[in-house]
Structure 1
């Protein structure tokens, strides 16, 4: 069992990381602006699932292997970067006002399944997210207690906090959408999302 003081310390340590805009927030803005509040849930669930994937990999030691192998780390980082840049370019292309219609087989899907998958991949393919469970989480684990349950407890706390953060942003996005409803706002939001995704992809590739 994780000590309450350790949980509080972990929350304070991870809060700045959650509050820093990232791919999950960018995807939330895109999907909620484009398709409404129902698209918020799959983005949140995809992000939370990604956290549990990292927690599970950390318990299995696979994340440690990736983080300590320069080749494996670089491969994961580049795959994640390519994914974010590609997703950003698709988003920009779909938002262009006079863009040539994309064939249905090539069009970026916008359903709940795709929102979930995009958020999941954006989190799983982010080595820095894995780093939280390899560098930050161990600081709040008691060595004499079973570490598996402690990691899952901290992952659940992490998931609840990030779900609350994204839910707050969903409310703000919906308020802005109602106030600025129209194709121009949706196009601007999609273009801003694409810029964020591409920026994070490039940053991931070069850092």
Structure 2
């Protein structure tokens, strides 16, 4: 029973460590996914809106009708308002709202202020993306160290189990083989030593020693 408990404890311990490693990896991915999704769905969308507003301003033709460019600008501005994720974005968007009419009317100062506000908006979102990227990297590094620690624990557990199996299973089996092989080759006095072996092997050794004692006794002539 002691040997059985040792084997089962070691096997279940290794299985538990492997399961913990698997769940740790899943948990890391679950935590990283929202960070990556935030970068894609929020900050990237805001940057795209800024790019569309820059494009609309760049394509304004003072001679032609500016309605199409103005409509494109307004759609991008609404998208930016709908996707505000940082408090600093609101003042920049408010400034754009205030100066957009003048910018499309040919007011150079208004146009300059809109451009500066768009650059500010772009910088805010890029900074937020870098922060989210740093958070994702931090989670990745933490997950990597977690996996390393679990791997080391698994190595220690495997080494411990291997030593226990060697001492409680392989060494007794080797001793049993050596005793039987010695008896077969003519060494009649060698016996199994029951010290420091599991109870299961102690009973086996006692039985083997008894059989060897019987076989080693001189046969009576009839």
Q: TM-score, normalised by structure 1?
A: 0.32
Return the index of the structure with the highest Cα Rg. Answer: 2
Greater RCO, 1 or 2 (C-alpha within 8 Å, sep 6+): 1
Q: TM-score, normalised by structure 2?
A: 0.30
